[in-house]
A and B are shown apart, each in its own frame.
Chain A
Amino acid sequence: LAKTTQPISMDSYEGQEVNITCSHNNIATNDYITWYQQFPSQGPRFIIQGYKTKVTNEVASLFIPADRKSSTLSLPRVSLSDTAVYYCLFSGGYNKLIFGAGTRLAVHP
């Protein structure tokens, strides 16, 4: 089963940029890298998805190196409402959608 590795937790302060890196050594050619955000008592929700290089949307950026064995989610100027658990996983290819333990981000005032 495809597996990803992320830091268990991170702390930040309001207004700072947060970068969360995910390792995925066994990513397949057809896999996209997708990041999800989950608040307590809610299902995960989509943040951003990419295949390689850099992708940016209104809430985040995703950096993927050429070998695609890792990816970095960048959240600019975080606020208290960004406190959540963040998951990276593969999607769209032949791997089952396996979630890792995720990264618990705590944003402090």
Chain B
Amino acid sequence: NAGVTQTPKFQVLKTGQSMTLQCAQDMNHNSMYWYRQDPGMGLRLIYYSASEGTTDKGEVPNGYNVSRLNKREFSLRLESAAPSQTSVYFCASEGNTIYFGEGSWLTVV
């Protein structure tokens, strides 16, 4: 996927642990997004950022925090992971169309 890089690709956490998913884009886009996708379901918006320094809640923000410190990077943090947060997480940035990262598979045990 052109221009959007997510790390890590796979992660296993214990309940209560914290972690940060990193996302970076090199297309100079203003808007960036974090989604989660549970098995067999559609994507649900967690948080989005319309520009550097601004963030807003999406459909399912509880249990997550985000940070948009610069135009290029938008990180998603789980402060105290729960098994319900086991999911695939996609970062995206918006130019003329939306570009998605390859996804981060997170398992919370």
Contacts and interface: CB of A to CB of B under 8 A. Distances in A.
Interface of A: 1, 34, 36, 41-46, 49, 85, 87, 91-92, 96-102
Contacts of B90: 43-44
Interface residues of B, number: 24
Contact of A44 (B41, B43, B56, B58): B43
Contacts of B74: none
Nearest to B97: A46
Interface in B83-106: 88, 90, 92, 94, 96-103
Given A42-B103, A43-B90, A44-B43, A34 B59 contact: no
Interface of B is mostly: strand
Interface of B: 1, 33, 35, 41-45, 48, 56, 58-59, 88, 90, 92, 94, 96-103
